[in-house]
Amino acid sequence: MSREQQAVACARRAFETGRSLCLDHRIRQLKSLKRLFTERQKEISDALMKDLNKSVVGTELYETLGLESEINLTVSKLKEWAAPRPVEKNLVTISDTIYIKPEPLGVVLIIGSWNYPWAVTIKPLIGAIAAGNAAVIKPSEVCVHTAKVMEDLLPLYIDKELYPVVTGGVVETQELLRQRFDHIFYTGNSLVGKAIMEAASKFLTPVTLELGGKSPCYIDKNCDLTIACRRITWGKYTNCGQTCIAPDYVLCDPSIQERVIEEIRKAIKDFYTENPKTCADYGRIINQRHFKRIKAMMDDSTVALGGDNDEANCYIAPTILRDVKPEAKVMQEEIFGPLLPILPVSDLDEAIRFIKKREKPLALYIFSSDNEVIQKMLSSTSSGAMVANDCLIHYSVSSLPFGGVGNSGMGCYHGKFTFDQLSHLRSCLIKKLKMEGINSMRYPPHTAKKLSR
């Protein structure tokens, strides 16, 4: 048996003992998982510093605090979420007991990506534990140090038979994908997302695909550009642009392009100093392969700001590209790095046409003081999420479903949505063996008299 087969068999055996069904067991696991984030903050932070140059505060803000509050919410609501949910009855079933009973799916495979490795791997795990599943956890091999910390620490805090960790790269993930799961929860790029879905189809395993793509950001002339550009600067350059919901490119009227560049320049200086390379809050590209990919995207566009880089350090300065053409390299795939292309468009209608011609994005951002403009963008387009006058912040709202549509993904999670996503919502109808008289209408012979109203 391969290591991957062993992990799946171990999780399956542990699931079949039935211990994950117990709500108290789930709550104990979640509380213990939360302790990992307080007791092991330093190991988590040191590894993320090595992987992505994430600062200590950045690690707390963007990785662990959100997980702790997700656990708090889940622990406080679990009894309510897991309870039978009574539903409306119809006339024929009026005296029956009818409800939806959430039940665990079984063994879930969680495949994480590297950009916010704790957030994207552990958030689904919180829901998997809460819903009573076993889970095989596959951290991304790309964040080398964090994957090792996860492999070492998780078994010290949570039931290592119910929730085994499997490390490794593509080969190991493919071996996992040959096994039978009851759900696969994948976070990563859309190309691999297709391979995941194909592998899942062998056993008709349901999938949640948290993918990426190019999230547009439209800036209306009618808006406070200083504030808009500060928010966009934060959304774009946090984690060095390696954020699935980062604004990928800006669409705006040609008359405001220079102001936008100037305001973003000022915000970059405020946030990351004159020299972002020496600023503790500015990250690094994850590895040389991605560094080369991002650097090459600048080739055929005009750099308005930044552009300097250092391969040995995986450093690319916060960069703005001006007057970018739709055919430019930077517009052909998700950037996932600190380049912000600006594409001039004549008006809102052209921006809408531009967005609609492309794949449905994970997030769509619009900056405007005019509610009609915001509503028109909202009603004319589709995306995983739409945010007006801010970036990224919807991720923190656990009452909003987080996920993509079309090429940006399928299924959603966060808060109760994760619990429901990783549960089977079983329809239950319990009738008594009495009152047979009222059933006579549905039994043959079907005479016209039975239908007379």
CA–CA separation, 37 and 119 (whole Å): 12
**Phi, psi at 158, each rounded to 5°:** -125, 160
- Which residue among 169, 332, 425, 427 contacts ligand NAD (CB under 6 A)? 169
Please give the sequence-ordered ranges of beta strands (E in DSSP) within 326-450, or none if there are none: 339-344, 363-367, 385-388, 409-410, 423-430
Residues 325-344 that bind ligand NAD (CB under 6 A): 334, 336
Taking the mean position of all CA atoms in its chain, how far away is CA 91? 42
Which range, of 4-12, 84-92, 140-148, 258-266, touches ligand NAD by CB under 6 A?
140-148
Token digits for 193?
Answer: 């997302």
User: Is-catalytic flag, 22?
Assistant: no
Q: Which residues of 167-176 are buried (b: 16+ CB within 10 A; e: fewer)?
A: bbeeebbebb
Which range, of 93-101, 169-177, 219-227, 419-427, touches ligand NAD by CB under 6 A?
169-177
Number of residues that bind ligand NAD (CB under 6 A): 28
**Neighbouring-strand partners of residue 85:** 100
Residue 241 interacts with ligand NAD (CB under 6 A): yes or no: no
Q: Which of 210, 252, 391, 412 is catalytic?
A: 210
Taking the mean position of all CA atoms in its chain, how far away is CA 204? 23
Token digits for 98?
Answer: 């009818």
- Which residue among 45, 55, 115, 381 contacts ligand NAD (CB under 6 A)? 115
Contact flags string 50-89 toward ligand NAD, x per CB under 6 A = ----------------------------------------
Residue 129 contacts residue 104 (beta carbons within 8 Å): no
Residues 269-308 that bind ligand NAD (CB under 6 A): none
Residue 212 interacts with ligand NAD (CB under 6 A): yes or no: yes
Residue 187 interacts with ligand NAD (CB under 6 A): yes or no: yes
- CA nearest neighbour of 140 among 178, 107, 168: 168
Minimum distance between the CB of residue 191 and ligand NAD, rounded to whole angstroms?
8
Q: Is 369 helix (H, G, I), strand (E, B) or coil?
A: coil
- CA nearest neighbour of 55 among 238, 302, 234, 327: 238
- Which residue among 4, 63, 210, 263 contacts ligand NAD (CB under 6 A)? 210
Minimum distance between the CB of residue 140 and ligand NAD, rounded to whole angstroms?
3
Find the residue with minimal CB distance to ligand NAD: 212
Residue 170 interacts with ligand NAD (CB under 6 A): yes or no: yes
Which range, of 3-11, 38-46, 183-191, 344-352, touches ligand NAD by CB under 6 A?
183-191
CA torsion angle 215 219 223 225 (round to 10) = 90
Residue 113 interacts with ligand NAD (CB under 6 A): yes or no: yes
Q: Measure the N-to-C terminal CA separation of the chain; round to a whole number of Å.
A: 66
Residues 405-434 that bind ligand NAD (CB under 6 A): 409
Containing 79, the helix (H) or strand (E) segment is helix 65-82
User: Is-catalytic flag, 68?
Assistant: no
Q: Which residue has the tokens 């080739």?
A: 299
Minimum distance between the CB of residue 122 and ligand NAD, rounded to whole angstroms?
13
Taking the mean position of all CA atoms in its chain, how far away is CA 198? 20
Catalytic amino acids?
A: 210, 244
Residues forming the site for ligand NAD (CB under 6 A): 111-115, 120, 138, 140-142, 169-170, 173-174, 187-189, 192, 195, 210-212, 244, 334, 336, 362, 404, 409
